[in-house]
């Protein structure tokens, strides 16, 4: 199959993964916003990177 591009990688990783909640977590400011922005961006672009 084809070589993974950066778009494939972002598409795979940014929205996936088990979510950990609770007081063991250090909340990173803005990371959820980045996820959302990136999702919108990925839906809009093609393999142009």
Partner 1 sequence: MSAERGLCAYAITRGARWDLVGSPELRAAGPPELIRHDGLALVVTEVDTALFGGLDAEEPAEDGLLATLVRDHDAIVRAVFEHEPVLPLRFGTVVADEPAARRLLSSSCDEVTRWLDRVAGHREWGVRVDHGAQPAEETPLTGLSGADYLRRRRQSRLDDRQLKDHQSDAARALHSALVDLATDVVHRIQRPQTLLDAAYLVPEPNEDAFRRAAAELGEEARGRGATVHATGPWPPYSFTRLELGVTG
Separation of CA 37 from chain center: 9
Taking a C-beta distance cutoff of 8 angstroms, is the pair 45, 17 a contact? no
Output phi, psi for 32, to 5 deg: -65, -35
Give least dist CB 48 to partner 1, A.
11
Give least dist CB 13 to partner 1, A.
5
- List residues near partner 1 by CB under 8 A: 1-2, 4, 6, 8-10, 12-26, 28-31, 33-35, 37-39, 41, 43-44, 47, 49
Give least dist CB 38 to partner 1, A.
4
């Amino acid at each position: 199959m084809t070589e993974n591009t950066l778009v494939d990688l972002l598409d795979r990783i940014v929205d996936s993964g088990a979510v950990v909640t609770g007081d063991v977590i250090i909340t990173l400011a803005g990371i959820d916003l980045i996820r959302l922005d990136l999702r919108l961006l990925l839906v809009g672009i093609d393999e142009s990177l």
